[in-house]
Chains A and B, each alone.
Chain A
Amino acid sequence: MTATTAPDIRWTAVRAGFSRGWIETRQSFTEIANLIGYIAPVAAYLAVLLMLRGRTVPGTDFALGTMVLPSLLSMAIILGGLSGPTTGLVADREDGTLLRAKATPHGMLGYLIGKIVMFASTTMLGFIPILVVGNVLIDNLVLDLRAASLLALVFVAGMVSTVPLGVALGCIMKSTVQAMLVPLACALLVYPSGIFYPITALPTWLQWVGQTFPLYWVGLGARAAMLPPEMVAAEIGQSWRTVEMFAVLGAWAALGLLLAPILLRRMARRQSGSALAEVRERYLTKGY
């Protein structure tokens, strides 16, 4: 029928997906709700710094605020990688964006590439204000080439371990209201994950809860990258446990990558015009 080969056709969809990602990234910065999402971590961080003034990381002389900053980056990774795709996917399913993708040749491929580009770029852009504030207010932060490259690796591992999982969760959630549970769960995980205070100060059973989820490990990775070596004293086993970190994040990534395509296909199959009409009907009668 045509001289164009299959890889060429897919490549067209991938390129379209990149342009989709940039368009949506740009849009996300013109929306008040999103801007608040980017500024809020900075505000939260400043508030935490004020509260932690004068306190040091147990076992060291370092300000506790120094430890908290890398952990905050890990929060940005987890929120961007997990709750972003979940809420985004549910919203896109309910308003017909996914069905539109399905009605377009290789549109789903374009859609997924677009989402990955958007979440990666908005999450990275969310780093900038935190790093700027950190650089101005915090001493003892390491920001050299080693820190940058380890941080980049942690970022990639964090995204790979959360985005597929977020997509899978988005497929399961039935409505935007349900999808809001994911950012809520992330917020609850902050405490056992040792974000604002060293995990070693927690009861052992809570330490185990924290170590089950990616948030702790991404935080540990970010601290390993950006903190001076002496601060390892506040970590479990006085070690950055880099190998374990990549292993746990890898396991979450494998789980997500296994589940996401299955659930996505199942959800896409169920998409139809009448399913959309039902959602619209629900909004009209119940209001959510």
Chain B
Amino acid sequence: MDNRPKTPEFALDVRDLRMRYGSKDVLTGVTFAAQRGEVLALLGPNGAGKTTTIEILEGFRARSAGNVSVLGCDPAHGDEAWRARIGVVLQSWRDHRFWRVRELLAYSARFYAPFATAKVTRPWNVDELLDLVGLTKSANAKIVTLSGGQRRRLDVALGIVGRPEIVFFDEPTAGFDPHARRDFHDLIHRLADFDNTTILLTTHDLDEAEKIADRILVLDEGRIVADGSADQLARQLTTSAEVRWSADGQRHVHAVREGDPAEFVRDLLIKNPHVTDLEVRRASLEDTYMALVHRAESGTAHSASEQPRAISTQKTENPK
């Protein structure tokens, strides 16, 4: 898939990023980089530090320590020309409620016109963009009358109206129905493939991260615990395995937390010659991620905000 041209420079380069609020460490050394045109998903449970990370990269929050470069510039000192190359889609916009959809998009677009270059025409044509996010029919509607999903699509349009080279999305598909979600995924691919836009999005939905991203970064307790494609992640993260067998008419299950389950199996077969129906199952990436989410949420009594999509991971003692 890597046939698109890439400049050697990283669009994003984060090294040992640290953030501390009072005595609480929120980020404890985050390091990652992104090439131009790459789609990165920052995945993690609530409270892992996703929003803090993305806000530092957007230049909206001062960091405690570490080196950060976004399009070759430190976001803490980003000027307006740098700002023009960045797109931001935050979690909760409720602004400009009495404006009309097209009115606000056209207003925002005006600011980007002086930042057009020979290579990048700025801003995006407003009607074309409305069409792209599926809001042509609502162009003259007051923003307050939009549905949650429509409002979100307007936020996306406002985030990319200046044809940014990099776009930050914080929980972009929260409140989307499956159809809108798929449209959004198509839009992300279009931005990355045709416009070579770098994209960093946060999500707590593994399924979405797998569908959308070239690379997934798993953030847990303020650090990156895994970095790679979904397949690489599975190998990096899933260390536990389950061994199931029947003996004396009973079904047994044993969980191997760390290391190679072969040792346990060898031992089992030597000790018990009546073992049948032996089954060794590596935990799936989904299981591992859900365990991580579960631990994060039971560990810290977080405010009852949105919960990750529940995935049933039934464990049964009985054979099928």
A interface residues, Cβ below 8 angstroms from B: 1-2, 4, 8-9, 12-13, 15-16, 19-20, 23, 27, 30-31, 92, 95-97, 99-100, 102-107, 110, 269, 271-274, 276-277, 280-281
Determine if B52 is an interface residue (Cβ-Cβ < 8 Å): yes
Q: Give the residues in chain A near B55, CB-CB below 8 Å.
A: 272-274
**B55: nearest chain-A partner, CB-CB:** A272
Q: Is the CB of A97 within 8 A of B95?
A: yes
Q: Which of B122-180 contact A (CB under 8 A)?
A: 158, 162, 170
Stretch with Cβ within 8 A of A (4 or more), from B112-120, B228-236, B246-254: B112-120
Please pick, from A13, A31, A105, A273, the residue contacting B90 in the complex, using a CB distance under 8 A.
A273
Contact A277 B91 (CB under 8 A): yes
CB distance from B10 to the nearest CB of A (A): 19
Contact A105 to B110, CB < 8 A, known contacts A1-B81, A23-B103, A273-B91? no
Instruction: Decide yes or no whether B111 CB sits under 8 A from chain A.
Output: yes
A-B contact pairs, 14 of them (CB 8 A): A2-B81, A4-B115, A9-B115, A12-B114, A92-B95, A96-B92, A96-B94, A99-B60, A102-B60, A103-B88, A105-B81, A106-B80, A271-B60, A276-B92
Task: Please give the distance in Å from A31's CB to the nearest CB on chain B.
Answer: 7
Choose among A2, A13, A30, A271 the residue with the greatest number of B CB atoms under 10 Å from its CB: A2
Q: A281's contact among B94, B108, B113, B303, by CB below 8 Å, is which?
A: B303
Contact with A110, one of B61, B111, B113 (Cβ below 8 angstroms) = B111
Please, which residues of chain A bring their CB within 8 A of the CB of B101? none
Q: Does B205 contact A (CB under 8 A)?
A: no
> Shortest beta-carbon distance, A277 to chain B, in Å?
5
Q: Which residues of B contact A276 (CB under 8 A)?
A: 90-93
- Give the residue name and chain of the B residue nearest to A110 (CB): B111
In the complex, which residues of chain A have a beta carbon less than 8 angstroms from the beta carbon of B257? none
Q: Is the CB of B96 within 8 A of A97?
A: yes
Q: Which chain A residues border B80 with CB–CB below 8 Å? A: 9, 105-106
Contacts of B116 in A (CB 8 A): 2, 4
Q: How far is the CA of A97 from the CA of B99 in the complex (A)?
A: 11
Q: What 13 additional pairs, Cβ within 8 angstroms, besides A95-B94, A100-B93, A272-B61?
A: A1-B81, A8-B114, A20-B107, A23-B107, A95-B97, A96-B92, A97-B96, A99-B95, A104-B162, A105-B83, A106-B111, A273-B170, A277-B91
Q: Contact flags (1/0) for B55-99 with A, using CB distance below 8 Å?
A: 100101110000000000000000011011010101111111111
Residues on the A chain within 8 Å of B95, using CB: 92, 95-97, 99-100
B51 at the interface (CB under 8 A from A): yes
Minimum Cβ distance to chain B for residue A78 (Å): 25
Chain B residue with minimal CB distance to A275? B60
Chain B residues with CB under 8 Å of A95's CB are: 93-95, 97
CB of B117 within 8 A of CB of A2, answer yes
What is the bound-complex CA distance between A273 and B110, given in angstroms? Answer: 24
What's the Cα separation between A15 and B114 when bound, in Å? 12
A257 to B94, CA, bound (A): 29
User: What's the Cα separation between A274 and B91 when bound, in Å?
Assistant: 8
Partner of A273, one of B51, B113, B115: B51
The distance from the CB of B25 to the nearest CB of chain A, in whole angstroms, is: 16
Q: Which residue in A4, A104, A272, A274 is a CB contact (below 8 Å) of B83?
A: A104
B50 to chain A, nearest CB (A): 11
The complex places the Cα of A148 from the Cα of B116 at a distance, in Å, of: 46
**CB-nearest residue of chain A to B80:** A105
A13 in contact with B60 given A1-B81, A103-B88, A105-B80 (CB within 8 Å): no
Beta-carbon nearest neighbor of A27 in chain B: B98
Chain A residues in 8 Å Cβ range of B170: 273
A105-B83, A106-B80 known; A13-B111 Cβ under 8 A: yes
Q: What are the nearest 4 A-B pairs in CB distance?
A: A273-B90, A97-B95, A105-B84, A96-B95
| B158 contacts A280, C-beta separation under 8 Å | no
CB distance from B75 to the nearest CB of A (A): 12
Smallest beta-carbon distance A206→chain B, Å: 41
Cβ distance A170 to chain B, nearest Cβ, rounded Å? 16
- Which residue, A97, A100, A103, A107, has most C-beta atoms of chain B within 10 A? A103
